[in-house]
Amino acid sequence: MKPLFLIVGYLVVVTLPLGLSWWVGGPPRQFQQELASGMGILAFSMVLMEFILSGRFKAISNGVGLDVTMRFHQIMARTALAFALLHPFLYQGTPSGGQRPWDPTRALTITTDFSVLSTGIAAYLLLPSLVLLAIGRAQLNFRYETWRLLHGIGALLIAFLLLHHTVYAGRYGSQPVMSWVWLAMTGLAIGSLLSVYLLVPLLQRARPWRVTSVARLTPKQW
């Protein structure tokens, strides 16, 4: 029952920004434009949920197992990457140049302001690199702890870039309600990262432990 609950909870959190965007975003646009925005929204929310999945929190891993949790983390990362890579191409044919006086809800155009597009472009380049380096981790000459720290820093940078791009370039993300939703979700994701890399090590240092004995539980294999 718990795995089903966790899956439903994941789907609810990931699709929450999409549902709220539809609710507060104004009149709908052409299907291709809505699909482009939807993929971008889902990609960002999935990236933020990757922080939680990789945090090895017992509330999650105890229910389905750590191996299953990390495998789900890998699959969802690749899915988010696919959505993110498709996102800008689906806007082809949409008039650009920013908001028109007769289009206050930005239903007809997309922005060409490079200051807000640049963070999206940077995230667009960094996200594939992060995923590919994770897939090829075994070939990297890094200690696991070093690689995991670099992986976390890269994910943190991508989250900040996507937050700026979503809030300032997105038609839906610029809505005040959605801006607060994205800020809250990004804050929770960053909080989980800080918990893993700062809070837990500090608590472990305050209460150190040491190995006192080793017992064999299985026959020796040659």
Non-local (6+) Cβ contacts of 196 within 8 A are 55, 56, 152
Q: What is the pLDDT of residue 107?
A: 66
Q: What is the pLDDT of residue 87?
A: 93
Q: What is the pLDDT of residue 149?
A: 86
Does residue 166 carry a pLDDT above 80? yes
Residue 176: inside a domain = yes
Lowest model confidence (mean pLDDT) among 25-34, 83-92, 130-139: 25-34
The pair phi, psi for residue 162, each rounded to 5°, is -70, -35
Per-residue pLDDT band for 211 (boundaries 50, 70, 90) equals confident
- Give the tokens for residue 112: 């060409």
Q: What is the pLDDT of residue 100?
A: 66
pLDDT in tens, 25-43: 777 788 888 999 999 999 9
**Number of structural domains, the chain?**
1
Q: Which residue range is the domain that position 35 belongs to?
A: 2-91+105-203
Distance of alpha carbon 47 from the chain centroid: 1
> Is residue 163 within 8 Å of residue 183, measured between CB atoms?
yes
Residue 136: inside a domain = yes
Q: What is the pLDDT of residue 104?
A: 63
Residue 220: inside a domain = no
Residue 210, classified by CB atoms within 10 Å of its CB into exposed (0-12), middle (13-18) or buried (19+), is exposed
Q: What is the pLDDT of residue 108?
A: 64
> Is residue 172 within 8 Å of residue 24, measured between CB atoms?
yes
Residue 190: inside a domain = yes
Q: What is the pLDDT of residue 221?
A: 52
Q: What is the pLDDT of residue 110?
A: 75
Residue 221: inside a domain = no
Q: What is the mean pLDDT of the chain?
A: 85
Query: What predicted TM-score, i.e. pTM, was given to this entire model?
Result: 0.85
pLDDT in tens, 168-184: 988 898 889 999 999 99
Non-local (6+) Cβ contacts of 138 within 8 A are none
Buried-exposed string 50-75: b where 16+ CB fall within 10 A, e elsewhere: bbbbbbeeeebbeebeeeebeebbee
Residue 142: inside a domain = yes
Q: What is the pLDDT of residue 83?
A: 96
Mean pLDDT throughout 85-101? 78
Q: What is the pLDDT of residue 137?
A: 83
Residue 42: inside a domain = yes
Q: What is the pLDDT of residue 184?
A: 96
Q: What is the pLDDT of residue 179?
A: 95
Residue 222: inside a domain = no
